[in-house]
Amino acid sequence: MERHLMDSQIKGVSTGTTILAVTFNGGVIIGSDSRASIGGYYVSSKTINKLIQVHDRIFCCIAGSLADAQAVTKAAKFQISFHSIQMESPPLVKAAASVLKELCYNNKEELQAGFITAGWDRKKGPQVYTVALGGMLLSQPFTIGGSGSTYIYGYADAKYKPDMSKEECLQFATNALALAMGRDNVSGGVAHLVVITEEGVEHIVIPGDKLPKFHDE
Amino acid sequence: MSSIGTGYDLSASTFSPDGRVFQVEYAMKAVENSSTAIGIRCKDGVVFGVEKLILSKLYEQGSNKRIFNVDRHVGMAVAGLLADARSLSEVAREEASNFRSNYGHNIPLKYLSERVAMYVHAYTLYSAVRPFGCSFILGSYDQDDGPQLYMVDPSGISFGYWGCAIGKAKQAAKTEIEKLQMKDMTCRELVKEVAKIIYIVHDEVKDKAFELELSWVGEVTNGKHELVPKDIRVEAEKYAKVCTTTTSLLHGISVTWVQNNSTFKMGKKKQTLNISLLSMVK
């Protein structure tokens, strides 16, 4: 089935991309590159934002068709904010991920977008959820996604440790993004990182030339 | 307390000149005709007790249940028109199920009771339908939020409680509930007290046979709402029978029965009796 081809063969503008989310002791770091391309030949944007804030402490990163991803996150953001007001408390990360999953699963024929939802809530602390293309929902301590992720599975599996400190986790995420952006032609630009903890949300942007360099660069 | 609202009480969409909706008040009267149901929240769970009057010896034991399971972690005890209550339990079940389907976790009780209350309220707005003739008590236990207890009445409002009673003997039951220190009790202790209260408020003269329906949800059941196991129920009923028989036996003398240390105060004298002695008195 065509739907199971790589992200770079998706219709229209796609985010051939590298996205990841990693939990550490006390929070979660979510990161992505910033390139949007058409057909893998033309870079339509060098500075696109793939980290969407769906609530105070919950972020989503998008992969796949950019149009589909933006439409879904817009609908999810509305539903989650309404839910949070009705419940009179911040939403659970699981609830936000479930909302996205419902949208993806019920519209799987038309959509071609996958997400990583990560955030912090009072009940379970920092969490990471993957919502795959067809609407599968999975909770993991860390996850990587997008076309660039195929080049860093080895690095991520080898270097991830549970219960890292914030600095160790930042180094891990930055290295992973840099390695993927270095090999994947449809990932690049700057590295966006967001650190989510109970206290708040911190944005870090690392321009291309400031990314860590490896042996042959 | 009852008044005739001639002319203004024919439909729920009419106010009376003194600002009352009589149909809703009549619905509440329907609840007061039914036998009592109580729910009490303690420090690690919620216990329900229902005085289920047996109208015929031909009924199978355990039929016509008045305590429903709404979701794994939520129980509902009802009073009033049983058919109305059954249909509302289905509404509550659907709400809980849709919530879980959309948001991936157990529905918080406050939210569920607000949603069901909103549904009940909708039936008080139009002349084409009549209000629901039942009140119900919802209870749940969650690892993080702890035990919760909410009551919804036919007017469509819901309040959170530590202990509440609905049905014909609700005033008497409320008085008994207020005597308890439920915030410091565990579910096991509370089951006996709930059974005792139901036996106390049961009117032996007007209504003869009744079946006690007991259920609980809490740490003791791992967050699952279920009927109290038979052996615990039998023990609770035995305790209840001892307390009520003793009280009624010594009704003529001014005595107060003090639990847990079985001390009688007669006038200014104090005497201590064993429980075994008391059962002989019975």
Quick check: B103 and A92 CB within 8 A?
A: yes
A95–B contact, CB cutoff 8 A:
yes
Task: Please indicate if any CB of chain A lies within 8 Å of the CB of B102.
Answer: yes
Q: Which residue of B has its CA nearest to A88?
A: B111
Restricting to B residues 126-145, those with a Cβ less than 8 Å away from any Cβ of A are: 144
Provide the CATH topology of domain A9-210.
Glutamine Phosphoribosylpyrophosphate, subunit 1, domain 1 (3.60.20)
- Residue B270: alpha-carbon gap to chain centroid: 36
Residue B259: what pLDDT? 44
pLDDT, one tens digit for every residue, chain A (217 residues) = 334 444 444 555 655 889 999 999 999 999 999 998 887 788 888 888 899 999 999 999 998 888 899 999 999 999 999 999 999 999 999 999 999 999 999 999 999 999 999 999 999 999 999 999 889 999 999 999 998 999 999 999 999 999 999 999 999 999 999 999 999 988 889 999 999 999 999 999 999 889 999 887 7
* pLDDT, position A15: 59
B80: left (phi over 0), alpha (psi -120 to 50) or beta: left
- Minimum-distance CB partner of B105 among A94, A101, A137: A94
How distant is the Cα of A134 from the closest Cα of chain B, in angstroms? 16
Q: Per-residue pLDDT for B184 more than 90?
A: yes
Contact B104 A98 (CB under 8 A): yes
pLDDT-based confidence at B262, cuts 50/70/90? Answer: very low
Please count the residue pairs, one from chain A and one from chain B, whose beta carbons lie less than 8 angstroms apart: 26
β-bridge mates for residue B158, sequence order: B152
| Domain boundary assignment for chain A | 9-210
- CB pair distance less than 8 Å for B101 and A102: yes
**Is B40 strand, coil or helix?**
strand
Whether the CB of B108 is below 8 Å from some CB of chain A: the reply is yes
More confident residue, B152 or B207: B152
**Per-residue pLDDT for B261 more than 60?**
no
Q: What is the dihedral of CA B244, B35, B178, B230, to 10 degrees?
A: 60
Question: What's the rounded Cα separation, in Å, for the pair B215 and A169?
Answer: 49
A-chain residues near B108 (CB < 8 A): 87
| Cβ-proximal residues to B110 (8 Å cutoff; 6+ apart), any chain | B148, B150, B160
Contact A98 B103 (CB under 8 A): yes
Q: Is the pLDDT of residue B282 over 90?
A: no
Mean pLDDT within B101-116:
95
pLDDT level of residue B206 (50, 70, 90 thresholds): confident
The CA-atom distances, in angstroms, between B93 and each of B70, B81, B96 are 5, 19, 5
Could you tell me if A54 lies within 8 Å of chain B, comparing CB atoms?
Answer: no
Interchain contact A50–B (C-beta under 8 A):
no
For A83, half-sphere exposure in the C-beta direction (CA atoms, 13 angstrom radius) is 25
pLDDT tens for each residue of B163-179: 999 999 999 999 999 99
Give chain B positions within 8 Å (CB) of A76.
none
Band of residue B104 on the pLDDT scale cut at 50, 70, 90: very high
- State the pLDDT at residue B4: 65
Interchain pair A95, B103: CB under 8 A:
yes
A87 touches B: beta carbon within 8 Å: yes
- Determine what percent of chain B is predicted with pLDDT higher than 90: 73
CB of A91 closer than 8 Å to CB of A37: no
Q: Residue B194 corresponds to which amino acid? A: V
Percent of chain B with pLDDT over 70: 85
Average pLDDT over residues B8-37: 92
pLDDT value of position B219:
94
Count each helix (H run) and each strand (E run) in chain B, helices first.
7, 13
Tell the burial category of A103 from Cβ atoms under 10 Å away from its Cβ (0-12, 13-18, 19+): buried
Task: List active site positions of A.
Answer: 17
Nearest to B104 among A87, A95, A123 (CB): A95
Contacts of B105 in chain A (CB under 8 A): 92, 94-95, 98
Looking at residue B56, its pLDDT comes to 87
Chain A, 104 to 163: residues with Cβ < 8 Å from chain B are 123, 137
pLDDT tens digits, residue range B28-61? 999 999 999 999 999 999 999 999 998 888 988 8
ipTM above 0.85, yes or no: no
Interface of B with A in 137-196 (CB under 8 A): 144
